[in-house]
């Protein structure tokens, strides 16, 4: 693992949704996320949960793990990283809908959770 590589949506691999005609959901719970606070230089620790309804593609779990590990030494704030994770996940897999929740361990006695979601625009028949 090269922890100096920059994370990018391109690192997320996908495979064809095995049941594309059904509106079902996949929840992926990642309790070992860590990044670095750009202000204090101190590490942050959190759990990231992706919940999505696949469109044509499902996200491959090992590539997701490696992608998340690339944030290990990146300086990025809670709000930024949560929105970034959602944007990358959507770019890579183009889901019908997706929610990303990040839950962070306490700093200064205060805990923070961030929730961001995406819904694909419906393509309507012409």
| Minimum CB–partner distance for residue 126 and its own copies (Å) | 26
Measure the CA angle with vertex 57, ends 61 and 65; round to 5°. Answer: 15
- Do 92 and 9 form a contact (C-beta atoms < 8 A)? yes
Name which of 8 and 80 has its Cβ closer to its own copies. Answer: 80
Tell me: does residue 106 bind Ca ion (CB under 5 A). yes
CB nearer Ca ion, residue 73 or residue 111: 111
Q: Are β-strands 97-104 and 57-59 bridged in parallel, bridged antiparallel, or unpaired?
A: unpaired
Whether 44 is a known active-site residue: answer yes
Q: Which residue has the tokens 């309790």?
A: 31
Residues numbered 7 to 36 that lie near Ca ion (CB under 5 A) are 27
Chain-centre distance of CA 69, in angstroms?
11
Q: Which of 2, 23, 37, 88 is catalytic?
A: 37
Residue numbers in the known binding site for substrate are 59-61, 78-79
Active site residues: 37, 44
């Amino acid at each position: 693992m090269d922890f100096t590589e920059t994370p990018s949506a391109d690192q997320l691999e996908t495979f064809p949704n095995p049941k594309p005609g059904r509106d079902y959901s996949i929840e992926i719970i990642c309790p070992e996320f860590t990044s670095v606070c750009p202000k204090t230089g101190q590490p942050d620790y959190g759990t990231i949960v992706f919940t999505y309804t696949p469109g044509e593609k499902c996200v491959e779990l090992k590539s997701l793990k490696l992608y998340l590990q690339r944030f290990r030494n990146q300086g990025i704030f809670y709000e930024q990283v949560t929105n970034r994770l959602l944007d990358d996940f959507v770019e890579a897999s183009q889901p019908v809908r997706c929610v990303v929740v990040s839950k962070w361990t306490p700093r200064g006695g205060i805990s923070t959770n961030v929730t961001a979601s995406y819904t694909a625009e419906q393509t309507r028949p012409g």
